[in-house]
Amino acid sequence: MGGILHRKQEMESHGKKAANRSWQTIYCVVQKNSFGFYKDSKHATNSIPYHGEAPVSLQGAQCNVALDYKKRKHVFKLGLTDGKEYLFQAKDEAEMSTWMRVINAA
Ligand code: I3P
């Protein structure tokens, strides 16, 4: 599955907050066990990652609605086993559910 999400990185690793904490609009692609970030769908097709970021592993990842984040709507949280943590904002509740279902099944 691929599509546009707004992303904010909260944690860089266990116990270390991310330095760049602003929201960015990214084309995201979920594949088996991996989540890739791209500038747009064309870059995704050509496998040119967003800011050189390699796709992250979804193995053992935790994906839940970000109930504690109140500033934006339709936000879910993704926590990776290496301690990286991201917030993703979808355009509506339905899209958020779909992303979470696909990520949890990947
Ligand atoms: C960040 C930006 C984010 C904000 C974050 C800021 O600043 O304003 O929108 O998160 O706050 O650090 P910058 O653009 O200069 O990187 P929120 O939208 O969630 O408030 P934070 O450091 O409290 O996460």
CA distance 104 to 77: 12
User: Distance, CA 29 to ligand 1 centroid (Å)?
Assistant: 24
User: Distance, CA 21 to ligand 1 centroid (Å)?
Assistant: 5
Q: What is the pLDDT along the chain (106 residues), one digit of tens a residue?
A: 999 999 999 999 999 999 999 999 999 999 999 999 999 999 999 999 999 999 999 999 999 999 999 999 999 999 999 999 999 999 999 999 999 999 999 9
Is there a contact between 26 and 4 (Cβ–Cβ < 8 Å)? yes
Whether this prediction's pTM lies above 0.90 is answered by: yes
The values of phi and psi at residue 94, to 5°, are: -65, -45
Q: Is 23 in the pocket of ligand 1 (CB under 6 A)?
A: yes
Closest-lying ligand 1 atom to the alpha carbon of residue 87:
19
Burial of 36 (0-12, 13-18, 19+ CB in 10 A): buried
Q: Is 17 in the pocket of ligand 1 (CB under 6 A)?
A: no
CA distance 4 to 26: 6
